[in-house]
């Protein structure tokens, strides 16, 4: 299935049904009086987060959603039927933005969450509504109230506990394939990963987390170079980032600074997230090269740096344990905040 994480769609909720003018005309009712019913409510536009969806590809082919108008009222003081709501199913993690692509209207971050984005118009009043002691035969009714309409952007941000970042060919896809059941494309040329991949890492029966691999970043990605930085949105929700640096490429400090610079330029709080640095491809370096590059990375980043090899598995369990502990701590803090609220 083709991956699509952004789509623009048109929405219109239903108009309310019209009220009607009617009078009772039964043979044995001497003074019949008004009995025109009210109109029914128009349909709402409702979004629901579904856990079994993982792309917005359906919205490439269906871009207009209109709810039906409510039924008109009728005689015998009968209210028109309310129109059915239009329920739009989207993947968990979908954000709904206004046409300016900046104003956040809704964030469907949990499975089953429902948001009524546009409310249908109310039905108009029939003439029975206006009956009073001084106006016993009103001859007017109100038309239904109009629905609402707007263009919105849907943007998918995958729900993952940890995110993989790095330059192209840093070994991110290989790492993901080794530690999980995910099978991303792996090749010896840049940008083999064209869209985000998710993998579930299980360290034990009670310890697991979701790892997201996004396409590699290059210098100038925030200005559109390479695949740009649009996929960085998929790691905005992550509790921790695993930054893989290709140790066999030579200048590891420049590689680390390039990706850090792109994350800072992107914003979204990425530069403030906990960062685990992994010097990858230990199998392609001599012990002397590995030691020198570890020291250089530790000095420039001010953080611990882990030597590992996705191809051979060297150092991978240690990195996974650090990731799991960081994710567990973030989950505990989130639960405490929710409990306090």
Tens of pLDDT along 170-213? 888 888 888 887 665 555 544 455 567 778 888 887 888 888 88
Question: Helices (DSSP H) in 240-286: which residue ranges?
Answer: 252-266
| Position 9 pLDDT exceeds 50 | yes
The predicted structure's pLDDT at residue 25: 81
Name the pLDDT band for 113 (thresholds 50, 70, 90).
Answer: very high
Residue 168 is assigned to a ligand binding site: yes
| Position 54 pLDDT exceeds 90 | no
Residue 167 is assigned to a ligand binding site: yes
121-166: per-residue pLDDT in tens? 999 999 999 998 888 889 999 999 999 999 999 988 877 888 888 8
Cα–Cα distance, 314 to 155 (Å, whole number): 37
Q: Which residues contact 18 (CB under 8 A, 6 or more apart)?
A: 39, 72, 73, 80, 123, 124, 141, 142, 143, 144
Cα–Cα distance, 161 to 167 (Å, whole number): 21
Cα–Cα distance, 128 to 135 (Å, whole number): 10
251-282: per-residue pLDDT in tens? 889 988 988 888 888 877 888 888 889 999 98
Residue 273 is assigned to a ligand binding site: no
Name the pLDDT band for 295 (thresholds 50, 70, 90).
Answer: very high
Region for 323 from its dihedrals, namely left if φ exceeds 0, alpha if ψ lies in -120 to 50, beta otherwise: alpha
Q: Which pTM was predicted?
A: 0.74
The predicted structure's pLDDT at residue 211: 85
Residue 311 is assigned to a ligand binding site: yes
Residue 246 is assigned to a ligand binding site: no
Residue 16 is assigned to a ligand binding site: no
Name the pLDDT band for 46 (thresholds 50, 70, 90).
Answer: very high
Residue 171 is assigned to a ligand binding site: yes
Residue 205 is assigned to a ligand binding site: no
Name the pLDDT band for 221 (thresholds 50, 70, 90).
Answer: low
Q: Are 230 and 158 in contact (CB under 8 A)?
A: no
Residue 172 is assigned to a ligand binding site: yes
Residue 170 is assigned to a ligand binding site: yes
Residue 258 is assigned to a ligand binding site: no
Percent of the chain with pLDDT over 70: 90
The predicted structure's pLDDT at residue 141: 93
- Say which DSSP state 3 is in: -
Residue 159 is assigned to a ligand binding site: no
Residue 214 is assigned to a ligand binding site: yes
Residue 166 is assigned to a ligand binding site: yes
Domains plus CATH for the chain?
1-156 (2.70.210.12), 162-340 (3.40.50.300)
DSSP-assigned states of every residue in 64-124? EEEPPPPPPPBTTTBPPPPPPPEEEEEETTEEEE-TTS-SEEEEE-STT-EEEEEPPPPPP
Residue 221 is assigned to a ligand binding site: no
Residue 138 is assigned to a ligand binding site: no
Residue 310 is assigned to a ligand binding site: yes
The whole-chain average pLDDT of the chain stands at 85
The predicted structure's pLDDT at residue 183: 67
Closest CA to 214 of 226, 201, 223: 226
3-state helix, strand, coil in the chain (%, to 5): 25, 25, 50
The predicted structure's pLDDT at residue 226: 46
Residue 280 is assigned to a ligand binding site: yes
């Amino acid at each position: 299935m083709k991956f699509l994480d952004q789509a623009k769609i048109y929405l219109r909720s239903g108009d309310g049904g019209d009220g009607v003018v009617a009078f009772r005309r039964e043979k044995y009712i001497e003074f019949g009086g008004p009995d025109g019913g009210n109109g029914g409510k128009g349909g709402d536009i409702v979004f629901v987060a579904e856990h079994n969806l993982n792309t917005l590809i359906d919205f490439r082919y269906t871009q207009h959603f209109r709810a039906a108008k409510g039924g008109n009222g009728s005689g015998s003081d009968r209210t028109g039927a309310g129109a059915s709501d239009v329920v739009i199913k989207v993947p968990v993690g979908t954000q709904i933005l206004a046409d300016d692509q900046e104003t956040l209207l809704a964030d469907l971050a949990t499975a089953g969450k429902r948001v009524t984005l546009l409310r249908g118009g109310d039905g108009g009043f029939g003439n029975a509504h206006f009956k009073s002691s001084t106006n016993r035969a009103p001859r007017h009714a109100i038309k239904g109230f109009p629905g609402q309409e707007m263009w919105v952007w849907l943007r998918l941000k995958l729900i993952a506990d940890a995110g993989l970042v790095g330059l192209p060919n840093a070994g991110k896809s290989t790492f993901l394939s080794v530690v999980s059941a995910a099978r991303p494309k792996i090749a010896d040329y840049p940008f083999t990963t064209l869209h985000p991949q998710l993998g579930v890492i299980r360290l034990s029966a009670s310890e697991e987390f979701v790892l997201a691999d996004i396409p590699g970043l290059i210098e100038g990605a925030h200005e559109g170079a390479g695949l740009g930085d649009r996929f960085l949105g998929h790691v905005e929700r992550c509790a921790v980032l695993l930054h893989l640096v290709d140790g066999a490429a030579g200048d590891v400090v420049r590689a680390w600074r390039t990706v850090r610079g792109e994350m800072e330029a992107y914003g979204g709080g990425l530069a403030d997230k906990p960062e685990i640095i992994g010097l990858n491809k230990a199998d392609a370096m001599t012990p002397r090269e590995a030691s020198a590059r570890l020291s250089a990375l530790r000095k420039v980043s001010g953080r611990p740096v882990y030597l590992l090899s996705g191809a051979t598995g060297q150092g991978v369990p240690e990195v996974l344990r650090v990731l799991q502990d960081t994710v567990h701590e973030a989950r505990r803090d989130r639960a405490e905040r929710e409990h306090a609220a």
